[in-house]
Amino acid sequence: MSNKGKRIVEAKKKVEPGRRYSLREAVELVVSTPRVKFDETVDAAIRLGVNPAHADQMVRGSVVLPHGLGKSVRVLVFAKGEKEKEALDAGADVTGSDDIVEKIKGGWLEFDRVVATPDMMGSVGKLGKILGPRGLMPNPKVGTVTFDVGNAVRDLKSGKVEFRVEKAGIVHSPVGKVSFGVEKLVENVTAVVEAIVKLKPSSSKGAYLRSVSLSSTMGPGVKVDPLDLRSV
C-alpha cells in the first residue's frame, strides 16, 4: 500500500461513521489528520433546505473571513480614470478597460477575482462566456460590481469569499488552511454559516441548515451537528 493510501486509511479511522460532531470537534479532527507536503485548504459543504430551481430560494452572497484564506489573490479591476487609480491604490494587481477585455479574449487569464464599475459592465458583459463558467463574472449581489472599487479590492485581498447554492441545494466554500489551527478555522466557519443564515429565504420551510461537512484537500469529510452550529 502506498504512503498516500496509508495516510487516508489512518485519517478515516479517526472519524466515527454516522457521528455528527460539534464544530470545534470537527475542526480538531480535520487539522489532526496526517499531514501531506503542502498546506491543505479546508472546505465546508453546507446542505440547505431550499430548492434552487425557485428564484426566490436562490441563496447567494459573500463574506469576508476574519482570518482570510491563507493565500494571495490576484485582483483584476475594470475601471477608468480616478476609479482605476483608486483600485491600484487599494492593491489591485491589474486595472484597465477595453484593452483588458481584448487581452482576455486573446486567452489571458492571470487573475483570481474580478471587480468592475457599473459603467464598464457593457464591455465586461462581452466576456460572459469566458468569465462565467470560471465563476469570475462580476456581480452586484456579491459586491464586485461597484463604484466603491477601493473597498471591494481590499475585501478580496483580505479573504472575501463568494458562495452560491448549487442545484443539489449545497453551498461549497473554502474556509482557510489547515495551518490556521482550530481557533481561526472555527471563527472562519462561523462567519460563513452566519452569512448564509442571514440569507435564509422567507419561502424556505422546515430545517434550513440540513447538514454540514468539513474536509481538508486530502482528508475525509467530518460531519458537523447543525444544532451545534445554530447555537453558535
**Geometric angle at alpha carbon 94, from 90 and 96, rounded to 5°:** 105
Give residue 172's pLDDT: 95
pLDDT given at position 149: 97
Can you give the pTM of this predicted structure?
0.81
Q: Is the dihedral of CA 143, 158, 135, 100 positive or negative?
A: positive
Q: How confident is the model at residue 141 (pLDDT cuts 50, 70, 90)?
A: confident
Residue 168 pLDDT > 80: yes
* Most distant pair of Cα atoms in the chain: their distance: 60
Enumerate domains of the chain plus CATH numbers.
Answer: 19-69+160-231 (3.30.190.20), 75-158 (3.40.50.790)
pLDDT digits (tens, 9 = 90+) for 1-45: 455 556 566 666 677 788 999 999 999 999 987 667 889 999 999
87-91: list long-range contacts, CB under 8 Å, 24+ apart: 87/115, 87/149, 87/150, 87/153, 89/150, 90/149, 90/150, 90/151, 90/153, 90/154, 90/157, 91/153, 91/154, 91/157
Cβ–Cβ under 8 Å, residues 119 and 142: no
Asked if the model's pLDDT at residue 214 lies above 70, the reply is yes
Instruction: Say which residues have a Cβ less than 8 Å from residue 11's Cβ, sequence separation at least 6.
Output: 33, 34, 219, 220
Distances (CA, A) of 130 to 85, 102, 103, 118, 197: 26, 12, 12, 19, 31
CA distance 230 to 148: 33
